[in-house]
Amino acid sequence: MVDSTNQTITQEAPPLDELKSGSPPFTSLVQQLTQVVGQANILYNADELLVYECDGYIVDKSAPDIVIFPTSTEQVSKIVKLCNQFNVPFLARGAGTSLSGGCLPIGGGVMIVLTKMKQILEINLRDRYAIVEPGMVNLHLTNALKGTGYHYAPDPSSQGSCTIGGNIATNSGGPHTLKYGVTTNHVLGLEAVLPDGSIIELGGPTAETPGYDLHGLYVGNEGTFGICTKAIVRITRDPESHRTMLAVFQTIADATRAISAIIAAGIIPSALEMMDHGIIQAVEEAFHFGFPLDAGAVLLIEVDGLEIALDEEVRQILEICESCNVREIQRADTPEERQLIWKSRKQAFGAIGRLSPSYCTQDGVVPRTRLPEILEFIEATSKKYNMRIVNVFHAGDGNVHPILLFDERDQEQIQKVLEASEEILEKCLELGGSVTGEHGIGVEKINFMSRIFNETDLDTMETVRDIFNPRQICSRDKVLPQHQSDEKAGVVQSHPARRAPH
């Protein structure tokens, strides 16, 4: 079924060889899975599977052997039980927007794609919650709430395509999480199919539920605790009004001083995003927003709340920016102008395609006050490796996203990307931060876990994971290194011949 010779993971795996494509057990599994979901909801031909060989993290690839599209919790449960019966690993996938290889089917197996489970099951304004299926696209929930005075607050940059189930798996953030918090702050409860196929409910629509906060523990498990099949999420009042601004700075140092000063002044903007010189050029080239091409950095600053409060907040922010040598400030005076500014930020990643055939987005975090140091280090790393690195990130949270531009066709460049990324993330740790603020550990950063956490920490996490996933048959080889003494527990490219298109 899977050629496991090109995997570096050495953990005991189910006997996949018995299930090679075309073998009797494989055919039997396909037949039984087809009975569960119907012929139209299952893929197992090699060319169809290639689409699912990686997510947004393209450095590692590994195709699943079967891709299946359930439409109900009961179907998910039956699929998982069959996987157990056939001793085949499985994992869930939403829209595949993970940037750390969270959806990488290491060793193949069954990929359970939840995009057909996308219904809104309930919206309750009085009690401020919504119940949705996991394949619901994040933005679609907010769109469905339009006109009610409420929205769903977590808004990753990929919110137009990422799913709420995926957001729960990774505890996603986004620009507005500076003020409103990340996904875990907005999940009241969930339903999940555990790795043995049983269905469980954790938490609920009320403010609290008795016993341990298992739904809180579940959020951010990166798919290793089972498959979320229903989510009860908090919905948030729309702010009465916004003020959105673009502050243009000559240097990154001035921009980062402004970030720190705004927070220190006791102002919590609803968003505080930075784009550096490189990303400004890419965005301008792609979308022609009118950004000054010679600017060192641009800050997207948004405050929201009651109309009566905003002008004073804006006045304070302008004053702080002035004191930090701001070059100019553009204000969005109409909803259309605001939308345009946000489009520039949210589509920045799309613009990268004009700069390079491939890119790798990192996700380091530093204390807000250490932003100048990490940005200097990123610049130095760019020079050291002779590799272009651009930055667009959630500055208010100290969550940097250096984007390393490279050509996937050149093995040497891939190696440089890995080394440069590693050095940047090491620096984040050295500055008191973390290697991931919102993308997750996945497979990409698994070798960092033993540098962040000691053996006891990892043992405890492993103990907790094993309660949910004792056989590690679900989303295996993610988050926790197999052997804590292993220096590197990643995966090599399963399909080294495949290249990114020009």
Partner 1 sequence: MSPTHSGSQEEFVPASQTELSRFMTDNTAAAQKQIFPVGGRTSLSVCCPASQSGTLICTSQLNRVIDYPVRDMTITVEAGMRLDQLNEIVSAEGQRLPIDVPQSNRATVGGVIATNTCGPRRFSYGTIRDYVIGISAIDGKGNLFKSGGRVVKNVAGYDLSKMLVGSLGTLAVISQVSLNLRPKPETMSMVWFAFDSFQNADRALEAIVTSGTRPTAVEYCNSKAARQIAAESRSELPSEHQVVCVCFEGPANVVNWQADQIREEWKTFSPLSSQIVGAEKATKLYNAFTEYQTSSDDPVTLKAVLLPSQMMKFVEAASQLNIAVQAHAADGIVFGHLPDSASSLEDVQQILQQLQKAISPQTGHLTIYQCESEWAESLPLFCSAPSGWALMQQLKNALDPDQLLNAQRFSELVEA
Nearest alpha-carbon partner for 200 in 188, 214, 186, 180: 214
Residue with tokens 């290249």: 499
Q: Least Å distance between CB 315 and partner 1?
A: 12
Q: Least Å distance between CB 124 and partner 1?
A: 8
For the chain, the first-to-last Cα distance in angstroms comes to 31
d(C-alpha 188, C-alpha 168), whole Å: 11
CA distances from 108 to 32, 70, 112 (A): 18, 18, 12
- Residue with smaller CB distance to partner 1, 313 or 408: 313
Q: At 62, list the tokens.
A: 């590994």
- Residue with smaller CB distance to partner 1, 205 or 357: 205
Q: Least Å distance between CB 465 and partner 1?
A: 7
Q: At 147, list the tokens.
A: 């006109």
* Residues 6 or more apart whose Cβ sits within 8 Å of residue 188: 129, 203, 204, 205, 206, 207, 215, 232, 233, 234
Q: Least Å distance between CB 326 and partner 1?
A: 19
Q: Least Å distance between CB 403 and partner 1?
A: 18
d(C-alpha 363, C-alpha 166), whole Å: 17
Partners of 249 in beta bridges: 297, 326
d(C-alpha 295, C-alpha 498), whole Å: 38
- Strands 66-68 and 42-43 come out as antiparallel
Q: Least Å distance between CB 501 and partner 1?
A: 31
- Residue with smaller CB distance to partner 1, 295 or 303: 303
- Residue with smaller CB distance to partner 1, 128 or 416: 128
- Residue with smaller CB distance to partner 1, 52 or 218: 218
Q: Least Å distance between CB 200 and partner 1?
A: 6
* Residues 6 or more apart whose Cβ sits within 8 Å of residue 103: 52, 54, 55, 91, 93, 94, 96, 111, 223
- Residue with smaller CB distance to partner 1, 73 or 356: 73
Q: Least Å distance between CB 184 and partner 1?
A: 7
- Residue with smaller CB distance to partner 1, 170 or 362: 170
Rg (CA), the chain: 23
Q: Least Å distance between CB 170 and partner 1?
A: 6
Sign of CA dihedral 145, 151, 154, 156: positive
- Residue with smaller CB distance to partner 1, 177 or 493: 177
d(C-alpha 495, C-alpha 476), whole Å: 19
Partners of 364 in beta bridges: 400
- Residue with smaller CB distance to partner 1, 23 or 460: 460
